[in-house]
Structure 1
Amino acid sequence: MTAPFLSLAQIHNRLVLTARWVLRDHRPGADGRCPICRTADCPVAAAARDVLRAAEEVQLWSTATRPAALDRDEPRQAG
């Protein structure tokens, strides 16, 4: 399935799964270096952590809108 046919939730899930997969592959070894990049501070792992952090902040699951703030200049209607 290609991206134009995916929902936002599916795209979100694929980004999260890909970032987790990258973090698994770029996990530092016993010497503290990435086994693929061979650096101590792997930029690929840092980018994957940023993707996961951003994905946690996005709230895709709530489609309800928040109630509008009350306008103090408008009179309230009796219910």
Structure 2
Amino acid sequence: MTAPFLSLAQIRNRLVLTARWVLRDHQPGPDGRCPTCRTADCPVAAAARDVLHAATEPHLWRPAAQPTEPGREEPRQTG
């Protein structure tokens, strides 16, 4: 359940936990196939890996650079 009062970090954490849960259920067996989907290249596991990759990329959590105001010049450094 995702309520409107959850922070972005809480939503991200729930996505990560769900993706990890999916990867546990769709882990390839000794024959190299997913036990749930019975395919060699499980699309569900690939989607869960993509979610984990996107949720853990550092650029998603860095504060954005503040744009300068129009008409205001940045001070120049001399030397």
Query: TM tier, shorter chain?
Result: 0.7 to 0.9
Partner SS state of residue 47, structure 1: helix
Kindly state the Cα deviation for residue 47 of structure 1 after the two structures are TM-superposed: 0.3
Question: Aligned-pair RMSD on alpha carbons?
Answer: 2.6
The number of residues matched between the two structures is 72
Q: Which runs of 5+ in 2 are unaligned?
A: none
Task: Give TM-score scaled by structure 1 length.
Answer: 0.75
Kindly state the Cα deviation for residue 5 of structure 1 after the two structures are TM-superposed: 1.6
**Equivalent residue runs for 1:59-70 within 5 Å:** 59=61, 62=62, 64-66=63-65, 68=67
Per the alignment, do residues 26 and 68 of structure 1 end up closer, same or farther by CA in structure 2, a change over 3 Å counting?
A: same
User: What residue number does 1:18 align with?
Assistant: 18
Q: Deviations over 1:2-26 (max 9, x none)?
A: 4212110000000000000000010
Paired-residue identity, %: 73
Q: Which runs of 5+ in 1 are unaligned?
A: none
